[in-house]
Amino acid sequence: MKWIRLRRSKIKVFGKRGKTLPKGFQEEHTAFLHSLLTNDIKGMKPFTLSYNLWLRQNGSPIQDFFVYKTEDSYILDTEGDAKNMIQEFEKLKLSLRVYFEDITKDHLFVFGEGCENFVQSVFGQVPEEGRFFEKGGVFVANNPMRIKEKGFDIFGDVALVPEGEEVSEEDFEDLRIERAIPRIGKELREGFSPLEAGLLHSAISLTKGCYVGQEVIARIHYKGRLPRTLALFEVQNVEESERLMDEDKEVGLITSLSRKGLALGYILSSRAEKGKEYRTEKGFARLL
């Protein structure tokens, strides 16, 4: 089993029941998050989790979240700073009776062979995929979305050090790149659509109704083929943010580099060809 201590913020979102909310809503905090985030918040069942984006009006990502629904509130798990986001949420809630609390504490992520047995031995139960439980101030979630393999988020009043191999932040980042998982501030950034990052099925609902950035997302989706796509490259002498060139045309951008000679980046769909090499200023990138 492998494990890492993640630096993630936690924001509790809760509120009042309302009588003047849109049809289908009973809680003001549910209505607030549903209109702000890209996935179906209203349809979440208690003790389930989902992955969401917070977008600008132009469809570019501001932040991403794993959203955990408890019986009467939500917990937002994010890489961003809790204090700054709460300040922004306070501006956006308008007259809604919605409240925010920074509940950031320890966060472990355990994954790989043996992680399920570890959770069973420590907590006496294992949540099903996409679900979580809370026990003694500790939340345990079965979250294979974080690194595209079976893994468990353990956060809250965590007073344990797992057995197994502790993974460094650098190793975890290399694994993220190898598995082509987009990250906020890297692949999820201004100027790029989350659809180009391959997040349609994991982070975006096309049927939930309006949310910030929804019109742009829908327009790009229903046009058909995406102009660019996120891809994995084998690279040599390449730096992050370098442009990819095909002959004399700029065709892409490197967004993340691993220490193992791999990189993530965007490439024009019309120029994407498996096995092809693209030039950068000092090196090359081969599309895998």
Burial label for 279, CB within 10 Å (0-12, 13-18, 19+), is middle
Nearest to 76 by CA among 25, 124, 9: 9
Distance CA 64, CA 55 (A): 9
User: What pLDDT does 20 receive?
Assistant: 67
Give tens-digit pLDDT for 12-26: 999 988 766 776 677
230 three-state secondary structure: strand
Distance CA 101, CA 97 (A): 14
- Per-residue pLDDT in tens (0 to 9) along the chain, 288 residues: 999 999 999 999 999 887 667 766 779 999 999 999 999 999 999 999 999 999 999 999 999 999 999 999 999 999 999 999 999 999 999 988 999 999 999 999 999 999 999 999 999 999 999 999 999 999 999 999 999 999 999 999 998 889 899 999 999 999 999 999 999 999 999 999 999 999 999 999 999 889 999 999 999 999 888 999 999 999 999 999 999 999 989 999 999 999 999 999 999 999 999 999 999 998 999 999
Distance CA 204, CA 41 (A): 11
Distance CA 160, CA 138 (A): 11
Q: Which two tokens stand for residue 80?
A: 């961003």
142 DSSP assignment: E
